[in-house]
Amino acid sequence: MRSIRQPGAPVTERIQWVEARGRAFSFTLQAGLPLLEAARRGFAAEGFGGGVLNFGRGALGPFGYVMPALSKTGENAAFYSDAYRPAGVTRTRLGSMTLGMRDGAPFYHCHGLWTEADGKASGGHMLPDETVVAEPFEVEAFGVDGAMFTAEPDPETNFKLFGPVASASSGARTTSRAFALRLRPNQDFAACLEAFCRARGIARAKIHGGVGSTIGARFIHGGVTEPFATELAITAGTIAAGASGALEAAIDVALIDYTGGIAEGRLVRGDNPVLMTMELVLEVLD
């Protein structure tokens, strides 16, 4: 399987996880607010301090983002481009966000694909301090109670990355058992989730959110992304028994690579290792 050498030693525990409770809901992001604040208010209105969300068509402006890029210094296996700030209103096609905490304040990690005002199709990593909601749009959220994605230094990748940590209950109404996860580098995305569910007797689960990167990508429709550095958003995902009765993860994603190549589709099981990180929430369905 493909792998990328990271600057630090691998951590023994390859999945960082916290069991929690959660609930799915939808809300509308308010125009004129920074995207971070609009998202925070939406979760807070339902009693949650954080969680994950997915969205389709939306409008952002002002808007700032970075794309994946090669590392110029060698201090990381890959890095970010300089910031892009397209003029006018950018129209999102899809995206996924993790809302948590960094340095004691709300913060998000958000990847998506979009079309800029001049018609340019692009994607990448949205900058929390430079992105404003231009028009109201609806998002599908999953609030998490008992866990919080918190940005902490990660010696393996030499980045400050979101990972779940246990947190006090906010008392929010919840409906489901849930696990907040962070998958570490150089392990297959699908196999990792399948093994996690098998070990806990989980027969069926749904993925909510989903922000991270893979080492290129291999899709079941035959598409291949060769450039190794990507920014990826999960658009849909389940783990359930396949035809053989064994658990199988069906994961649909959209990504942009460091050359600007855009790809979408269902990932091949067993051939899509994580590059830096993958954050998501698993909702246990039965």
User: Cα(171)–Cα(44) distance, rounded to whole angstroms?
Assistant: 12
Q: How many CB atoms lie within 10 A of CB 195?
A: 16
Segment 226-239 shows an average pLDDT of: 98
Tokens read off for 202 = 């989980």
Residue 17 clears pLDDT 90, i.e. is over it: yes
User: Which of 128, 135, 143, 51 minimizes the C-alpha distance to 92?
Assistant: 135
Structural contact between residues 196 and 216, judged by C-beta atoms closer than 8 angstroms: no
The model's confidence at residue 258, banded by pLDDT at 50, 70 and 90, is: very high
Given this model, what pLDDT does residue 286 score?
80
Angle CA 285–202–24, to nearest 5? 30
Structural contact between residues 277 and 185, judged by C-beta atoms closer than 8 angstroms: yes
Structural contact between residues 144 and 48, judged by C-beta atoms closer than 8 angstroms: yes
User: Cα(25)–Cα(44) distance, rounded to whole angstroms?
Assistant: 12
Segment 235-255 shows an average pLDDT of: 97
Segment 252-264 shows an average pLDDT of: 98
Q: In the chain, what are the domains?
A: 21-143 (3.30.1330.80), 177-284 (3.30.1330.80)
Which residues, other chains included, contact 41 with Cβ-Cβ below 8 Å and sequence gap of 6+? 30, 33
User: Which of 43, 40, 94 minimizes the C-alpha distance to 231?
Assistant: 94
Write down how long the chain is: 286
Given this model, what pLDDT does residue 178 score?
98
pTM of the model: 0.97
Q: How many CB atoms lie within 10 A of CB 1?
A: 11
Residue 175 clears pLDDT 90, i.e. is over it: yes
Tokens read off for 272 = 């899509």
Q: What dihedral do alpha carbons 198, 201, 207, 209 form, nearest 10°?
A: -100
The share of the chain scoring above pLDDT 90, in percent, equals: 99
Tokens read off for 24 = 């799915």
For residue range 208-222, list pLDDT tens digits in order: 999 999 999 999 999
Given this model, what pLDDT does residue 24 score?
98
User: Cα(280)–Cα(277) distance, rounded to whole angstroms?
Assistant: 10
Structural contact between residues 229 and 206, judged by C-beta atoms closer than 8 angstroms: no
Look up tokens 């450039």; give the residue.
Answer: 227
Indicate left, alpha or beta for 245 from its phi (over 0: left) and psi (-120 to 50: alpha).
left
201 DSSP assignment: T
Q: What is the mean pLDDT of the chain?
A: 97
Given this model, what pLDDT does residue 100 score?
98
Q: How many CB atoms lie within 10 A of CB 124?
A: 25
Residue 113 clears pLDDT 90, i.e. is over it: yes
